[in-house]
Structure 1
Amino acid sequence: MADPDNSPRSVDEDEQLDVTWLAGGWEPLLRHWIEQATARGVAEPGAMVLATVSLADGTPRPVARTVLCRGLSPEGVVFYTNFDSAKGAQLAAVPYAAVTFLWTPLGRQVHVRGAVQRVSAETTAAYWHARPRDSQLGAWASHQSQPIASRAELERELAQVIARFDDVDEIPVPPNWGGFLLRPDEVEFWQERHARLHNRIRVRITGDSSTIERLQP
């Protein structure tokens, strides 16, 4: 098996992440890195691991899964889900989360941590109506995170939803579906370097002010 430390990368060792890159704020640099990952052909450059806290058994436990970033602004990062899903329930109970973007071929990561709130119904509707019809139908058919007996039963649920909306041109937003905005209080940029002396720069955000500091790898 190949040594993962010696696996090929397209990392530019002459390009050193520096605090000056954050002069315009955290959001422009994160957007730029996503755009660069897209240009380099990285699969799903907007994918991010979302970590929440589960209190299901009375003991706080971390839960992580991959979702897609569907909005990025100076306010934060937006993703969408079923509010009755496991992550929806966890965010309702503990409205704080962390996401990690990872672009392995570029040797880069970004960690975003902060409070979470639902986006407006108008924002959800605008995104919903831009989704493919199949995705809308799937959202109606799936009771996300709930057990189901078989794949066949899930497909029967979808068939019923397709029939229900057969004559409907504009499928409405499900009442239990929408977006979350993660408002960061901390954003960390990570850049792979030789000998594991990686570059790490953290932005801490408090209200309208922020502090930027370099961290040891």
Structure 2
Amino acid sequence: MMELADFRRDYTQGGLRRKDLPDDPLTLFELWMEQAVKSGITDPTAMVVATVDERGQAYQRIVLLKHLDAHGFVFYTNMGSRKAGQLAKNPRISLLFPWHMLERQVHITGQVEQLSTLEVMKYFHSRPKDSQIGAWVSQQSSRISARGILEAKFLEIKQKFASGEVPLPSFWGGFRVKFDSVEFWQGGARRLHDRFLYQRNADGWTIDRLAP
């Protein structure tokens, strides 16, 4: 077996300085997202979503960010999924954008609120038709015996809606993450990484440098 402890590299793409930080973390996040998109990295909008079940067990999975504004980060999911069930009982959530190629990470904490039916419907009907059908097919996180079951169900639903609009499933929705902290991590030489934590307060945001 390969010796994992021997895998290492230095981080040389540049630093992050306090004097360069905007007052609002969204300004920097949007800049970093734009740079991630232009860099050509795979799935720049992919984020790790962490939730906790009733026993305190943490779960993580990757989903795609679909919208962002001052009100929060938006993603969509099957409301019968494991993450949706966990968020219904504990709305606290953590997001992580792992932009390794750029030697950057962004970590976000906050609480979710469920999107309105109008918001969900508007996005659902903007998706490719096969993606809309796929939402009908899968009872996310449930156990299945074989992939063929999904394939057969997909063909059945596709034929059913072949000549018309695919309706919004009652079990499909989304969440808005109302964020209260945003941490920016930029890799640095000799493991002297730059980390800055924005935390929301009554007057806006406090900014602290964290030790790497």
TM-score, normalised relative to structure 2: 0.93
Shift of 1:35: 1.1
Mapping 1:158-173, distance limit 5 Å: 158-168=154-164, 170-173=165-168
> Hey, what's the Cα distance between the residues in 1 that align with 2:135 and 2:201?
36
1:161 match: secondary structure? helix
User: Is structure 2 residue 130 aligned with structure 1 residue 129?
Assistant: no
1:5 match: secondary structure? coil
CA gap of 1:119–1:213, structure 2 versus 1, over 3 A, is: same
Letter in 1 for 2:190: A
> Any gaps of 5 or more consecutive residues in structure 1?
none
1:205 match: secondary structure? strand
Farther-moved stretch of structure 1 (207-216 vs 190-199) = 207-216
- The question of whether the paired residues in 1 share the 8 Å contact of 2:23 and 2:205 is answered with no
* Aligned pair partner of 1:192 in 177, 183, 187: 187
Matched with 2:48 is 49
Shift of 1:41: 0.8
Matched with 1:73 is 69
> Hey, what's the Cα distance between the residues in 1 that align with 2:112 and 2:156?
34
Shift of 1:23: 2.1
TM-score, normalised relative to structure 1: 0.91
Letter in 2 for 1:41: G
> Any gaps of 5 or more consecutive residues in structure 2?
none
> Hey, what's the Cα distance between the residues in 1 that align with 2:205 and 2:60?
27
CA gap of 1:146–1:32, structure 2 versus 1, over 3 A, is: same
Shift of 1:207: 4.9
> Hey, what's the Cα distance between the residues in 2 that align with 1:211 and 1:77?
20
Kindly report structure 1 stretches of 4+ aligned residues shifted beyond 4 Å: none
Matched with 2:7 is 4
- The question of whether the paired residues in 2 share the 8 Å contact of 1:50 and 1:100 is answered with yes
> Hey, what's the Cα distance between the residues in 1 that align with 2:99 and 2:47?
10
Residue-pair matches, total: 209
Matched with 2:94 is 98
Larger RCO: 1 or 2 (CA < 8 Å, sep 6+): 2
Cα deviation, 1:48-87, whole Å, max 9, x if unaligned, reads: 00000112xxx21000001101111122111100000011
Matched with 1:138 is 134
What is the alpha-carbon root mean square deviation over aligned residues? 1.6
Matched with 1:209 is 204
- The question of whether the paired residues in 1 share the 8 Å contact of 2:78 and 2:171 is answered with yes
Shift of 1:153: 1.1
> Hey, what's the Cα distance between the residues in 1 that align with 2:141 and 2:98?
25
